[in-house]
Structure 1
């Protein structure tokens, strides 16, 4: 008799059930074999609700209502004491009512430390989409909008409780209206763990499991469950507190194992204590590595910390690598294991053995270890290497490098392991040995494999100058920074101390670069910044009039800065629509890789000054470049949206920065010492008299003067305490109000509440820049309105006209490059008879809109003379390129470079239908193209041109190259000859 379809399905279900049972049984046997002495609970798992009723809610209440300051007779406990009491009481009840295995509870209490369960593949937006489906919420409802736009202010309901940036609170609001039960559900802690395992296993269909939770939990339980899924358990206590309450050795064991399960199962007995061997690193078991401390002091302090004795003053200087911290374990049987700093295993990426064909690294390590090495643990950095350029690639490309290396393309990017420490060798832990001894062991055990696995080099130093020299090198190479190490130190697992100090260019004065950028987008914040735009996308103006996304900045803003931005842009923001982006104003990278939550029209926006440590390539922004470590420095209230940095200006400045990096940079720590200055004389432009400044040494510069420092400074970035220290070092007195002494100078760089009060009183407020300028020049300078004054009373404006000329140039202070750039920019104005009417502009636009020449006709109206050494010699023009190079002691390779650049421009001009002539006397010449900037050379050319009726434009090769790249003929005025 043939079997029916239902019979076949029943047999399949039975087979699947048998397979699942066999799998569970095998997993249980494996766990029993690995942890033979693990504890077993005597009683069944308690309800999930006890976690929030007896632990989470009491801890949150303690966090919200901390005990007030205790008097001598007060019996009220301090918050930290009460916190430990709540956790200890919960653990005691668990031991009494359940048993000694607290692992099921701890993996829910500290879900971010649970390495056993795989990821869910659920973030806020995906989880919100699933909840909308499970709760059967209309997509057009306020609750659906609030779940999907959880960073933005809530719409509908109580406007006071926005919950912006707090996704769980949004979920609680939506669930509480549709909860199937009001009392706690029947799910136990064990049931919740089983369902979460199912949620992690089926990453493509989360709905059935979330539906099961919804059917069996109330709103409060579901809210806590969502926090567990998102691993955002902020309950008012750290994991260290939980571990310390569980066992006095728990935190120490977690640092060397990174395994919460091991801590729960090995340390279930409070009377048991770990011995020294259990507290060290173990083969095949990940650990928390030692980290470098931030260097926030002077180089002198660094050197002093690294030289505890007179006998041995040497410290080590290593380049800080731009990759991912990685540890390599090699077992006796040739098995490799790789773990990241956060205990994520990467063995499947890099390989499990030298015979692993899918491994992108281990198959090249057959000869990486010297004879006699049985097992080893190495600590280092996994970086991406470009074999064509023979250089490291920027951070964030490791994943693509792993994929590319599996293609066996010798030119593809590859993973490259740079080893800087060894912690285990031939069954022996080395963490109690000094760094110097460990380095000797590393050299004796590892045989470097070129550009696959190498030992990271270091430089020995004894002085401040040694650090500065090395920092100059890494800055010139756009590297991450330095790590200064004490060779006499031992390895401290999971610790960050002064034995390793990192020095980045960001910590050193003036190594970053300020850019005045236009805000084109905004991002809503989370937590305390929820409900408002907390970070901003900035753009650069392209030749087509649109703004290209360039960087995202969120650090450095004060409350006053946010208030000013909100006041200036209120009502002007628009929600970003991915289907209908505002391409007439803004262009993002392909696929809208980095897109804002809100956008703003350029003409309605503001300009802010942003500083970055370096300019790096990025496919997240339309410009193809972005700032590394961007941070806000100040608001540019003085600049209009049209005066913000353009794309052409940015590339010009980038070229200047690249050239500047090739020169030696002098390093300055932010805190300067007061030194005696040489007396200077100032001659006022257009006047005969000499103005004699006050003759004082820096030690007595501000003697007899009173100061009230109210805020830090934005540029240069100095704290309030640092400015006060500078004033004191120069003999000035510090007060904390303007009424503490006569003639107090009020110093501030931001409009805080104190400053606003002074403005109402019509009191002058001086910027800290005046203090810096006085100290720099060693004299008391007259105040300048734009540079030195934050607020000028209405009746005091006339006195500042005596300090600067009509163009804003100071009479008393040397003009800086920044001042000169501003002066030249502000002076470029049309004369009355050169005003272009709107009617003329409209006609011009109509004519241009009809013309769309192909790129092959781009230079059809250009007749160019290329200033090559051969043409200069042929036309008998003095000061040839070779003469200039010889005068400046340059190399022949630079002369060849000039020739190559001009040759490339010649090719581009010819391809773009341009005409090239080699006769300098030709009257048809429209452009003279040079590839360098030199006063002597340019004067020689311009002297020859002065007699002509029509003078050609003299410009750089950059004009040709960038016009070709942008596929449009750019204005020559954007490529001036700066001499």
Structure 2
């Protein structure tokens, strides 16, 4: 398969907003790919090489750019092999060798292929929203049920491997994917509910738990070996030794736990979210001592050789209580006074509560209606699309943020508003320094960036608007915080924004 075929498919994807059309484009490409090309083709089209980030920035690539080839001749395998060599090169002389390989690759690429490789290698192509469309395409191309493909992906965490299994082995190969100790799975997610009463009425038999302002963690233990992962499946074990030690001391041989972790102030209230997140990248002894993390587990996905993903939550909770009872998140099953529990959570400095169906299995990676979050303040996780230069005391700082909601059909984020409210001097300085690192272009007033950073926005509501493509606009939006624990694919969708319309 030529790289040209992948680039043409990428162009076709960008030219339509129809999920059905996108699925057809991807399915056609998967059908025409040879087994040895499938993993790389899927990886390229979902915006990330099979090797992950290879450390080549925009400036490096621009310096290597040369006269493009007149006709397409590069194959998908050629590109994957070259990027593998770049990723594997280290030591003395490695910079020169990496430049030689990348320069040679770009010299063999047409103009359109060079543009594609630039965006692929700098992260501009990456968009988590396209993953759902790719899952549909794998199902269509392989003839396997979509739910089977989706489950295999969520258990493997790797779309290229899922596609290869589906296209070469069908349902039987996909069913071989299991929860594996030491390999994280995508976390189950909660959907918003308008009120606590609405959530309880919808779910019936339910547990009500605190919704904490912490960082999501998934912990795997096999004997004395412990791994701790973030919600984006990044391993942070080396930075959170106290969590690893705690899990290593639990009364079991093997376990997989889902939960939150946060740093507490002396009065027991949660420290700011940014302080908790700062621990995930630090091993400095003084910071570790000052910001000890406490875990609050709310699910048990495996215990001593038994996988519990398909067990109802009431059974998983029983297992969790046996193995980590003193570290369970505060909550009650079928509480007599759920309103009092919500009030207690808010009084303790947390965000609200999550209401969970006691009869539901663990739907890895899904934001369904089995878990409903209830927060008294309206918030959305949105993607930063651009920032405008400030005026007055904000002169010289990137200030007014352009905000986008995720397109559930895999297109680019859809703009829904702007805001500079809530930005502290610290945040202004931070974004002025870091947003240009994601710059795609600029004009006199605005710096446009790759849609990678997620920001949590507080708002009073939304209203219909012809100003933005999505037909809605935010009302009185304020920046609460950046969300480094989330990727663009975790942002709220345009459908979620529209659902906030009065009567929606």
- Report deviation, 1:228: 1.8
Distance 2:302 2:316 in 1: 9
Instruction: Report if the CA contact (8 A) 1:380-1:420 is conserved.
Output: yes
Matches within 5 A, 1:458-537: 458-461=331-334, 466-507=337-378, 526=385
Partner residue, 2:53: 119
1:182 aligns with 2:67: no
1:300 aligns with 2:197: yes
Distance 2:211 2:366 in 1: 18
- Report deviation, 1:104: 2.6
Q: SS where residue 339 of structure 1 aligns? A: strand
Taking structure 1 as the reference length, the TM-score comes to 0.38
1:340 aligns with 2:230: yes
Distance 1:117 1:502 in 2: 36
RMSD: 4.4
Partner residue, 1:379: 258
1:218 aligns with 2:105: no
- Report deviation, 1:718: 8.2
Matches within 5 A, 1:825-974: none
Change (3 A) 1:482 1:552: farther
Partner residue, 2:40: 104
Change (3 A) 1:110 1:366: closer
Change (3 A) 1:347 1:198: farther
- Report deviation, 1:221: 0.4
Instruction: Report if the CA contact (8 A) 2:106-2:114 is conserved.
Output: yes
Instruction: Report if the CA contact (8 A) 1:375-1:427 is conserved.
Output: yes
Partner residue, 1:594: 431
Instruction: Report if the CA contact (8 A) 1:320-1:483 is conserved.
Output: yes
Distance 1:102 1:525 in 2: 32
Q: SS where residue 595 of structure 1 aligns? A: helix
Change (3 A) 1:593 1:473: same
Matches within 5 A, 1:30-41: none
- 1:773-815 per-residue CA deviation (whole Å, 9 max, x = no partner) reads xxxxxxxxxxxxxxxxxxxxxxxxxxxxxxxxxxxxxxxxxxx
Matches within 5 A, 1:172-571: 179-184=67-72, 186-200=73-87, 205=95, 207-229=99-121, 230-232=123-125, 238-247=133-142, 248=144, 249-273=148-172, 278=176, 280-295=178-193, 297-307=194-204, 315-331=206-222, 333-350=223-240, 359-367=241-249, 369-370=250-251, 373-386=252-265, 388-398=266-276, 400-401=278-279, 407=285, 411-446=289-324, 448=326, 454-461=327-334, 466-507=337-378, 526=385, 554=402
Q: SS where residue 244 of structure 1 aligns? A: helix
Instruction: Report if the CA contact (8 A) 2:226-2:248 is conserved.
Output: no
Instruction: Report if the CA contact (8 A) 1:360-1:405 is conserved.
Output: no
Change (3 A) 1:399 1:561: closer
- 1:661-691 per-residue CA deviation (whole Å, 9 max, x = no partner) reads xxxxxxxxxxxxxxxxxxxxxxxxxxxxxxx
Q: SS where residue 262 of structure 1 aligns? A: helix
Distance 1:560 1:378 in 2: 36
Distance 1:456 1:280 in 2: 27
Instruction: Report if the CA contact (8 A) 2:208-2:333 is conserved.
Output: yes
Structure 2: runs of 5 or more not aligned: 406-413, 437-454, 463-498
Distance 2:295 2:321 in 1: 15
Distance 2:236 2:253 in 1: 22
Change (3 A) 1:476 1:551: farther
Distance 1:631 1:538 in 2: 23
Distance 2:82 2:136 in 1: 28
Distance 1:560 1:274 in 2: 42
- Report deviation, 1:501: 0.6
Distance 1:470 1:256 in 2: 33
- 1:68-88 per-residue CA deviation (whole Å, 9 max, x = no partner) reads xxxxxxxxxxx72x5544434
Instruction: Report if the CA contact (8 A) 2:390-2:399 is conserved.
Output: yes
Change (3 A) 1:424 1:58: same
Instruction: Report if the CA contact (8 A) 2:402-2:415 is conserved.
Output: no
Instruction: Report if the CA contact (8 A) 2:378-2:458 is conserved.
Output: no
Distance 2:348 2:197 in 1: 24
Distance 1:275 1:131 in 2: 38
**Bigger Rg, which one:** 1
- Report deviation, 1:406: 5.0
Change (3 A) 1:199 1:322: farther
Instruction: Report if the CA contact (8 A) 1:322-1:479 is conserved.
Output: yes
- Structure 1 residue aligned with 2:63, among 130, 133, 137? 133
Change (3 A) 1:410 1:111: closer
Distance 1:201 1:537 in 2: 43
Instruction: Report if the CA contact (8 A) 2:354-2:374 is conserved.
Output: yes
Change (3 A) 1:265 1:47: closer
Change (3 A) 1:120 1:537: farther
Change (3 A) 1:100 1:191: closer
Instruction: Report if the CA contact (8 A) 1:101-1:265 is conserved.
Output: no
Distance 1:48 1:221 in 2: 7
Instruction: Report if the CA contact (8 A) 2:276-2:293 is conserved.
Output: yes
Instruction: Report if the CA contact (8 A) 2:254-2:303 is conserved.
Output: yes
Instruction: Report if the CA contact (8 A) 1:280-1:431 is conserved.
Output: no
- Report deviation, 1:424: 0.8
Partner residue, 2:495: none
Q: SS where residue 102 of structure 1 aligns? A: helix
Partner residue, 1:48: 3
Distance 2:372 2:214 in 1: 18
- Structure 2 residue aligned with 1:89, among 28, 31, 37? 28
Distance 1:270 1:410 in 2: 47
Distance 1:244 1:261 in 2: 13
Q: How many residues align?
A: 424
Instruction: Report if the CA contact (8 A) 1:292-1:497 is conserved.
Output: yes
Change (3 A) 1:374 1:240: same
- Report deviation, 1:198: 4.2
Q: Say which structure is richer in strand.
A: 2
Partner residue, 1:695: none
Change (3 A) 1:224 1:718: closer
- 1:426-475 per-residue CA deviation (whole Å, 9 max, x = no partner) reads 21111232222221211222364xxxxx2212134557xx4443333333
Structure 1: runs of 5 or more not aligned: 1-45, 67-78, 136-177, 308-313, 351-358, 449-453, 509-523, 566-585, 599-626, 635-716, 723-979
Change (3 A) 1:269 1:349: same
